[in-house]
């Protein structure tokens, strides 16, 4: 089980599909025809379903995406989405704790789950003749999860240990939490997906049951089946296993506190003796992919690839890395987000280059890009690479299933997912420059994670003690 922080990753994306006529009891997508091999329909109970037929191997992937994540949690209950993800493996009235995963493994398959700010997802990859088996078990836990008294406290401790290992003992992860909290004053994206430790410790069985009863419903989920299965077979199985699960009322609009406009730049510095090399992250809020309006996100995707998509040929690599100012200079953006997301710049100074000198060189390079714009040949090269990545991503049933599931879980439609490659391909130099002016001239949050002398060194040189024994964090704004 893992956490998914896709808002800060480079966008990879796009699966495609084909609608077929079918049973009158099932709602059909009335949009333009989809690419070959993909069917889209919705069961009467509201379960949106995408089927991707791929007969190259006798394998199938089932994914169930719930349109609920860490950013939907109420204040004081951070971590409940991820905690319930763990508890979903603790069995039902007919499945013992851990039995689902053991059964998948015994049948030669694999399974996992992941939680993001915007969704929680579960999947299995297994031989196609075992699809009815995993669909039955997944539907069972959608409707009949049994959180036993002997399980919920033990699993909460597992989550606390996961936090201790992944965050509390890792200065880079701690820095990411601090930075995120500064970027988001008001929006719940500022909370960690795994939750704050004191709030995890206070979570109860009642909290988990309430979260499950409220949000784990077919009309708040997306089912994606990809692989060696026909649309007719998948549809019949979906109706058989999921069709009888009742919707839990009307799905509520996902209305969250929004982030107010930033009026000033902010800086954050964190130092820790375990850090070997200084590193910088600069982030600014940016547009997400919206239904029917993905053009701004496409321009930002191309801009990120131009600036920092390659360690050798990107603009920042040529300006900073190859001349020896930086070991790494990059840019990243992922528009698959329900609300405004982040455009990020990252920088690791070369050995012997002071952080302030490296940052000044970055600022100079960005100013030059804003003044001159992208080279046409570079723009075409980057768009060709993005197009190739899109084609490659469609070559995997799992990847295509992921693209549809994530897109539909963050408010996009099937048609939006289908249209995305063409929208990317239509990005012009003017679009890129408009995006660059939007994100590179906006007030940003700049964070530095710096080495700090170990305690013994500090004592030997009689330096003043830091604010805490191991680290200090300073925010300026």
DSSP state of 333: E
CA distance 443 to 261: 9
Domain-terminating residue out of 242, 258, 287: 242
Pair (378, 458) in one structural domain: yes
pTM of the full structure: 0.88
**Beta carbons within 8 Å of 23's beta carbon, 6+ residues apart:** 235, 239
Q: Kindly state the tokens that stand for 279.
A: 């590193």
The CA–CA distances, whole Å, from 364 to 320, 351, 370, 429 equal 10, 20, 10, 21
Is a pLDDT exceeding 60 seen at residue 456?
Answer: no
Q: Kindly state the tokens that stand for 248.
A: 């839990």
Is a pLDDT exceeding 60 seen at residue 211?
Answer: yes
DSSP letters for 16-85: --------TTSEE--SSPPPTTEEEEE-TTS-EEEEEE-TTSSEEEEEEEES--GGGSPTT-TTHHHHHH
Q: What SS3 state is found at 309?
A: coil
Is a pLDDT exceeding 50 seen at residue 15?
Answer: no
Sign of CA dihedral 185, 188, 194, 199: positive
Residue 205 CB-half CA count within 13 A:
11
Domain range for 421: 266-476
Pair (295, 234) in one structural domain: no
Is a pLDDT exceeding 60 seen at residue 473?
Answer: no
Sign of CA dihedral 275, 276, 278, 282: negative
Which one has a higher pLDDT value, 424 or 11? 424
pLDDT score recorded for residue 228: 97
260 within a domain of the structure (yes/no): no
Burial 35-71 (b: 16+ CB within 10 A, else e): eebbbbbbbebbbbbbbbbbeeeebbbbbbbbbbbbb
pLDDT score recorded for residue 29: 44
Pair (178, 305) in one structural domain: no
Sign of CA dihedral 391, 396, 397, 399: negative
pLDDT score recorded for residue 16: 23
Smallest CA-to-CA distance from 383 within 433, 330, 432, 417 is with 432
DSSP state of 197: H
pLDDT score recorded for residue 371: 98
Is a pLDDT exceeding 90 seen at residue 155?
Answer: yes
Pair (238, 285) in one structural domain: no
Is a pLDDT exceeding 70 seen at residue 19?
Answer: no
pLDDT digits (tens, 9 = 90+) for 184-207: 999 999 999 999 999 999 999 999
How many independent structural domains does the chain possess? 2
* Mean pLDDT on 367-377: 96
pLDDT score recorded for residue 253: 86
Pair (301, 357) in one structural domain: yes
Pair (126, 271) in one structural domain: no
467 within a domain of the structure (yes/no): yes
Pair (31, 122) in one structural domain: yes
Q: Where residue 381 sits, what CATH number does that domain have?
A: 3.30.830.10
Is a pLDDT exceeding 80 seen at residue 218?
Answer: yes
251 within a domain of the structure (yes/no): no
Is a pLDDT exceeding 90 seen at residue 144?
Answer: yes
The percent of residues above 90 in pLDDT, for the chain, comes to 81
pLDDT score recorded for residue 309: 87
Pair (417, 293) in one structural domain: yes
Pair (301, 372) in one structural domain: yes
Is a pLDDT exceeding 60 seen at residue 462?
Answer: no
Q: Kindly state the tokens that stand for 78.
A: 């951070």
Cβ(270)–Cβ(451) below 8 Å: no
312 within a domain of the structure (yes/no): yes
Confidence class for position 18, pLDDT limits 50, 70, 90: very low
Q: Which burial class, exposed, middle or buried, applies to 101 when counting CB atoms under 10 A from its CB (0-12, 13-18, 19+)?
A: middle
253 within a domain of the structure (yes/no): no
Confidence class for position 470, pLDDT limits 50, 70, 90: very low
pLDDT score recorded for residue 471: 41
Pair (364, 276) in one structural domain: yes
pLDDT score recorded for residue 459: 47
- The DSSP element (H or E) to which 101 belongs, if any, is helix 99-106
Strands 27-28 and 38-42 turn out to be antiparallel
Burial 451-468 (b: 16+ CB within 10 A, else e): ebeeeeeeeeeeeeebee
* Residue of 85, 155, 239, 342 marked active site: 85
Q: What SS3 state is found at 406?
A: helix
Dihedrals phi, psi of 277, to nearest 5 degrees: -135, 130
- Residue 201 bears catalytic tag: no
Is a pLDDT exceeding 80 seen at residue 463?
Answer: no
Sheet strands (E) in 235-339:
266-272, 279-286, 326-333
Cβ(418)–Cβ(16) below 8 Å: yes
pLDDT digits (tens, 9 = 90+) for 25-67: 344 444 456 777 899 999 999 999 999 999 999 999 999 999 9
Pair (443, 341) in one structural domain: yes
Domain-terminating residue out of 189, 207, 242: 242
Is a pLDDT exceeding 70 seen at residue 349?
Answer: yes
Which one has a higher pLDDT value, 27 or 152? 152
To the nearest whole number, what is the mean pLDDT of the chain?
A: 89
Q: Which burial class, exposed, middle or buried, applies to 403 when counting CB atoms under 10 A from its CB (0-12, 13-18, 19+)?
A: buried
CA distance 148 to 146: 6
Pair (362, 220) in one structural domain: no
* Mean pLDDT on 367-392: 93
DSSP state of 6: G
255 within a domain of the structure (yes/no): no
Confidence class for position 1, pLDDT limits 50, 70, 90: low
Which one has a higher pLDDT value, 455 or 404? 404
Confidence class for position 269, pLDDT limits 50, 70, 90: very high
402 within a domain of the structure (yes/no): yes
Q: Kindly state the tokens that stand for 444.
A: 């940003």
Segment 469-472 long-range contacts (CB within 8 Å, at least 24 positions apart): 470/272, 470/273, 470/274, 471/171, 471/174, 471/270, 471/271, 471/272, 472/270, 472/271
336 within a domain of the structure (yes/no): yes
């Amino acid at each position: 089980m893992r956490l998914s922080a896709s808002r800060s990753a480079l966008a990879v994306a796009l699966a495609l599909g084909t609608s077929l006529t079918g049973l009158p009891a099932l709602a059909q997508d009335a949009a333009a025809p989809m690419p070959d091999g993909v069917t889209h329909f919705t069961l009467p109970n509201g379960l949106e379903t995408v089927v991707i037929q791929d007969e190259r191997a006798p394998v199938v992937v089932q994914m169930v995406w719930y349109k609920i994540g860490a950013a939907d949690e109420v204040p004081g209950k951070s971590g409940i989405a991820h905690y319930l993800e763990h508890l979903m493996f603790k069995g039902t009235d007919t499945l013992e704790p851990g039995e689902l995963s053991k059964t998948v493994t015994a049948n030669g398959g694999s399974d996992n789950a992941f939680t993001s700010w915007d969704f929680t997802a579960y999947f299995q990859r297994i031989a196609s003749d075992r699809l009815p088996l995993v669909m039955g078990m997944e539907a069972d836990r959608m409707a009949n999860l049994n959180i036993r008294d002997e399980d919920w406290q033990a699993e909460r401790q597992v989550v606390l240990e996961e936090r201790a290992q992944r965050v509390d003992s890792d200065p880079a992860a701690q820095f990411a939490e601090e930075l995120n909290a500064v970027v988001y004053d008001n929006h719940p994206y500022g909370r960690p997906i795994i939750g704050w430790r004191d709030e995890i410790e206070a979570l109860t069985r009642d909290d988990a049951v309430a979260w499950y009863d409220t949000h784990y419903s077919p009309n708040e989920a997306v089912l994606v089946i990809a692989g060696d299965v026909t649309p007719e077979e998948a549809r019949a199985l979906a109706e058989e296993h999921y069709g009888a699960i009742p919707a839990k009322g009307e799905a509520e609009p996902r209305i969250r506190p929004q982030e107010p406009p930033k009026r000033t730049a902010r800086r954050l510095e964190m130092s820790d003796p375990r850090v070997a090399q200084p590193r910088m992250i600069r982030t600014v809020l940016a547009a997400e992919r919206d239904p029917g309006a993905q053009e701004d996100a496409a321009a930002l995707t191309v801009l990120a690839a131009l600036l920092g998509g390659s360690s050798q040929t990107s603009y920042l690599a040529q300006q900073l890395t190859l001349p020896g100012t930086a070991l790494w200079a990059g840019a990243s953006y992922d528009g698959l987000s329900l609300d405004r997301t982040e455009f990020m710049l990252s920088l690791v100074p070369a050995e012997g280059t002071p952080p302030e000198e490296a940052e000044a060189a970055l600022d100079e390079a960005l100013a030059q890009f804003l003044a001159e714009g992208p080279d046409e040949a570079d723009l075409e090269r980057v768009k060709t690479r993005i197009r190739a990545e899109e084609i490659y991503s469609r070559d995997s049933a799992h990847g295509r299933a992921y693209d549809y599931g994530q897109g539909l879980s963050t408010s996009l439609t099937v048609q939006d997912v289908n249209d995305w490659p063409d929208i990317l391909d239509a990005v012009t130099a003017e679009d890129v420059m408009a995006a660059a002016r939007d994100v590179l001239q906006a007030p940003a949050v700049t964070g530095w994670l710096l080495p700090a002398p170990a305690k013994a060194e500090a004592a030997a040189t009689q330096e003043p003690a830091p604010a805490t024994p191991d680290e200090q964090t300073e925010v300026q704004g």
